[in-house]
A and B are shown apart, each in its own frame.
Chain A
Amino acid sequence: MVMSNAITKFLILAVISLLFVGLGRWMGKYVGPFEILTMPIKKDMYLFRQNLTQKFSFSTGKKDENLKKELETVKRENEVLKAKIAVLEEENANFRRLLQAPLPPSWQFIPANVLGLSRYLTVDKGEEDGVKVGNVVISENILVGKIFSVTPKTAKVVLPQDSEAKIPAATQNGVRGILTGQFGTKIFLENVLQKETLNDGDRVETMGEDYPQGLLIGKVTRVIFDEREPYKKAEITPLLDYNKLTTVFIKKD
Chain B
Amino acid sequence: MKSYFLLLPVFFFALLEGTIITIPLTFLTVLAWAAWEENFFGAFICGLFLDLLKGNPLGTSSLIFLLATLTIFLYKRKFKATNFAYFLPFTFLASLLYIYLGNRAFLPREAFLSSLLAFPVASFVFWFLEKVKSEGQLKLKV
- A and B from one complex: yes
- In-complex Cβ contact of A62 among B19, B58, B73, B107 (8 A): B107
Give the residues from 14 to 69 in chain B that come closer than 8 angstroms, CB to CB, to chain A.
15-16, 18-23, 38, 40-41, 43-44, 47-48, 52-53, 57-60, 62-63, 66-67, 69
B70 within 8 A of A: yes
Contact A10 B52, beta carbon cutoff 8 Å: no
Say how far B25's CB is from chain A's closest CB, in angstroms.
Answer: 11
Known A-B contacts: A31-B52, A31-B58. Give 20 more (CB < 8 A).
A6-B40, A10-B73, A13-B43, A16-B44, A16-B59, A17-B47, A18-B59, A20-B48, A20-B62, A21-B57, A24-B57, A24-B59, A34-B52, A35-B52, A38-B15, A41-B15, A42-B15, A45-B15, A49-B20, A60-B23
Say how far A17's CB is from chain B's closest CB, in angstroms.
Answer: 4
Please name the residue on chain A nearest to B23 by beta carbon: A60
Inside 8 A of A62's CB, which chain B residues have their CB?
Answer: 99, 103, 105, 107
Contact A24 B107, beta carbon cutoff 8 Å: no
Distance, CA A132 to CA B49, complexed state (A): 78
B78 within 8 A of A: no
- In-complex Cβ contact of A13 among B38, B41, B58 (8 A): B41
Inside 8 A of B70's CB, which chain A residues have their CB?
Answer: 6-7, 10
- In-complex Cβ contact of A6 among B38, B59, B63, B114 (8 A): B38
B113 within 8 A of A: yes
Number of A-B contacts defined by CB within 8 Å: 91
Contact B16 A13, beta carbon cutoff 8 Å: no
Please name the residue on chain A nearest to B110 by beta carbon: A60
Say how far A137's CB is from chain B's closest CB, in angstroms.
Answer: 54
Q: Which residues of A pack against B, CB within 8 Å?
A: 6-7, 9-10, 13-14, 16-21, 24, 27, 31, 34-35, 38, 41-42, 45-46, 48-49, 52, 59-64
Contact A13 B66, beta carbon cutoff 8 Å: yes
Distance, CA A35 to CA B15, complexed state (A): 12
Say how far A106's CB is from chain B's closest CB, in angstroms.
Answer: 65
Inside 8 A of B58's CB, which chain A residues have their CB?
Answer: 20-21, 24, 27, 31
Could you tell me how many residues of chain B have their Cβ less than 8 Å away from some Cβ of chain A?
36
Contact B109 A60, beta carbon cutoff 8 Å: yes
Say how far B36's CB is from chain A's closest CB, in angstroms.
Answer: 14
Say how far B107's CB is from chain A's closest CB, in angstroms.
Answer: 6
Contact B52 A38, beta carbon cutoff 8 Å: yes
Q: Which residues of B pack against A, CB within 8 Å?
A: 15-16, 18-23, 38, 40-41, 43-44, 47-48, 52-53, 57-60, 62-63, 66-67, 69-70, 73, 99, 103, 105, 107, 109-110, 113-114
Given the known A-B contacts A21-B60, A31-B52, are A13 and B22 also in contact in the complex, defined by CB atoms under 8 Å? no
Contact A14 B66, beta carbon cutoff 8 Å: yes
Instruction: Say what secondary structure dominates the interface of chain A.
Output: helix
Distance, CA A174 to CA B76, complexed state (A): 105
Distance, CA A19 to CA B20, complexed state (A): 29
Inside 8 A of A6's CB, which chain B residues have their CB?
Answer: 38, 40, 70, 73
Inside 8 A of A45's CB, which chain B residues have their CB?
Answer: 15-16, 18-20
- In-complex Cβ contact of A42 among B53, B67, B73 (8 A): B53
Inside 8 A of B110's CB, which chain A residues have their CB?
Answer: 60-61
Given the known A-B contacts A45-B19, A60-B23, are A13 and B62 also in contact in the complex, defined by CB atoms under 8 Å? yes
- In-complex Cβ contact of A9 among B40, B57, B62, B109 (8 A): B40
Say how far A208's CB is from chain B's closest CB, in angstroms.
Answer: 71
Distance, CA A59 to CA B58, complexed state (A): 25
Distance, CA A61 to CA B24, complexed state (A): 10
Please name the residue on chain A nearest to B53 by beta carbon: A38
Inside 8 A of B103's CB, which chain A residues have their CB?
Answer: 61-63
